[in-house]
Amino acid sequence: MLVNVKELTPEQSRQTFAKDHVRGDSEQKAWLESEKSIIQAEAAKRSFDAEPLGYRITGKTVMFRRGLSLTERELKDILLRM
């Protein structure tokens, strides 16, 4: 796609230009995938930070928010729910 450089949005400009060169097609694709991964990771972190209990059970895995303290009873309850 040919677009006048002056008409690029700031995001398109970051996609197109690296610090020292113009990114090729495959490099732009890789950059887009990387940006997508970063956005998804940030969304997952925000979602996890919003967990009211401070932890999330997913199958046989428990993810804890940093700084969370649990009593022995609370930990046993978590393990029983797995």
Give the structural domain span for 74: 53-82
Q: Does position 48 have pLDDT exceeding 70, yes or no?
A: no
Query: Of residues 53 and 27, which shows the higher confidence score?
Result: 27
Report the alpha-carbon distance of residue 63 to residue 50 in Å, rounded. 13
| Average pLDDT for the chain | 88
- Percentage of the residues of the chain whose pLDDT score is greater than 70: 95
Residue 34 is assigned to a structural domain of this protein? yes
Query: What is the Cα gyration radius of the chain?
Result: 21
Q: Are residues 14 and 43 in the same domain?
A: yes
| Count of domains forming the chain | 2
Report the alpha-carbon distance of residue 52 to residue 35 in Å, rounded. 28
Q: Does position 22 have pLDDT exceeding 70, yes or no?
A: yes
Residue 1 is assigned to a structural domain of this protein? no
| Amino acid 72: pLDDT | 92
Amino acid at 19: K
H helix or E strand, kind and range, residue 35: helix 25-49
Residue 41 is assigned to a structural domain of this protein? yes
Residue 33 is assigned to a structural domain of this protein? yes
